Amino acid sequence: MPPKTFGGNGEWGKGKGAEAKSASAVNRKFSGRNKRKKVIEDSESLSPFPLSSSPLSPFAFRLSPFASVAVIGAGRLGTALARALAARGYHIKTLVSRRAASARRACLFVDPLADTPPAALKFSDMERLPPVDLFLITTPDDAIEETAMRLGEVLGASKRRRIALHASGALSSDVMGSLRVCGCAVGSMHPLVSVSDPVAGAEALGGAFYCVEGDRPATGMARRLVRDLGGHSFTIKARDKALYHAAAVMTSGHSVALFDAATELLARCGLSQMQARRVLLPLLGSTYKNLSSQKLSYALTGTFARGDVATVRRHLAALQSQSLSDTLAIYTLLGQRSLQLATENGQQSDNLKEIALLLEKAVGSRR
């Protein structure tokens, strides 16, 4: 069978050119099932976890014994996962969304060259689900329990061995406990990656780390999926999932929020949103590089790393003069965290103490 190469033509906030570029990148990556997968060496060197991936044998792309999949919740992540798994030889049989139109749109991204393309179903038509081995539940966190219960009603009591995985970082697999009576082993498989569109998302899923947890057959299946996707899996205790997910949100979503607050400051200096993003992004990129290659305290550069007392005083005065109390709060709290890192680095303690006092005063003035 020739290798699969395919693109997409959907909406997810991208122009056609960008999408075509992304799609061809995915195609390049996925063309040739017998190629060895790239091993992500730089992230491995920083990983505290034993990695599930290793340089793969030429047989790595053989079809999984669990090849038929239904994705329930064909949004950003569900569609990207369906696309990435289809390119690895999994048979995506059905995509389910709340609205029929969004399920149909998602199907366009999966595999237009498939002999039997996936069927689009809406949530209220779930009784028409075809038999599959694996259910990937990618509805929003708050809807996973309800989705599992609905799926349980559709499946009924059965001895057939099936697996259901959800993709939430915050919830454990217990939220789908209702599916166990239907013969399903349940688990969760959370990719530590930000997916905002299916094409780039499918590509990003390839090298991602996945937190896997749940019943043994389900975690075995999840690890298998991760390996087939070219990612790396690790596990944590179910009770720690909320804490784990707070870390993910702080790294991804909160970084975006922090960036937004910084662009607002540049807007006050007269830059447009676009200009602000353009000038700040390389700074963020260089920070990412430092984080990837240095220990944390060395990755910290700038005012707090140097202990520049007068500069901190100027920053605080500028923020106070703009009546940006939320941004001032963010600055002072993160400044206190930066001070801890600077201390680890052996920075002059007198300067750091003086900065700590300035920050405390600024926090006090907000109350």
Ligand X SMILES: NC(=O)c1ccc[n+]([C@@H]2O[C@H](COP(=O)([O-])OP(=O)(O)OC[C@H]3O[C@@H](n4cnc5c(N)ncnc54)[C@H](OP(=O)(O)O)[C@@H]3O)[C@@H](O)[C@H]2O)c1
Q: Which residues bind ligand X (CB under 6 A)?
A: 73-78, 97-99, 102, 123, 138-141, 143, 147, 167-169, 190-191, 194-195
CB of 236 to ligand X, least distance (A): 15
Residue in 58, 60, 53, 27 with CA at minimum distance from that of residue 39: 53
CB of 269 to ligand X, least distance (A): 32
Q: Two tokens at 317? A: 């005065």
Q: Between 170 and 299, whose beta carbon lies closer to ligand X?
A: 170
Q: Between 5 and 194, whose beta carbon lies closer to ligand X?
A: 194
Q: Two tokens at 37? A: 């997968």
CB of 201 to ligand X, least distance (A): 7
Q: Between 73 and 335, whose beta carbon lies closer to ligand X?
A: 73
Residue in 305, 304, 321, 306 with CA at minimum distance from that of residue 359: 304
Largest CA distance in the chain: 71
- Amino acid letter at 259? F
Residue in 77, 319, 293 with CA at minimum distance from that of residue 194: 77
Q: Which residues contact 302 (CB under 8 A, 6 or more apart)?
A: none
Q: Between 207 and 307, whose beta carbon lies closer to ligand X?
A: 207
Q: Give dist(CA 92, CA 110) in Å, integer.
A: 8
Q: Between 184 and 312, whose beta carbon lies closer to ligand X?
A: 184
11 burial via Cβ count (<10 Å: 0-12, 13-18, 19+): exposed
Q: Which residues pair with 163 in a beta bridge?
A: 134, 185
Q: Are 94 and 130 within 8 A, CB to CB?
A: yes
H or E, element range at 300? none
Which residue lies nearest ligand X, judged by its C-beta? Answer: 75
Q: Which residues pair with 97 in a beta bridge?
A: 122
Q: Between 218 and 359, whose beta carbon lies closer to ligand X?
A: 218
CB of 214 to ligand X, least distance (A): 14
CB of 72 to ligand X, least distance (A): 7
CB of 329 to ligand X, least distance (A): 27
Q: Between 90 and 209, whose beta carbon lies closer to ligand X?
A: 209
Q: Give dist(CA 230, CA 207) in Å, integer.
A: 6
CB of 21 to ligand X, least distance (A): 21
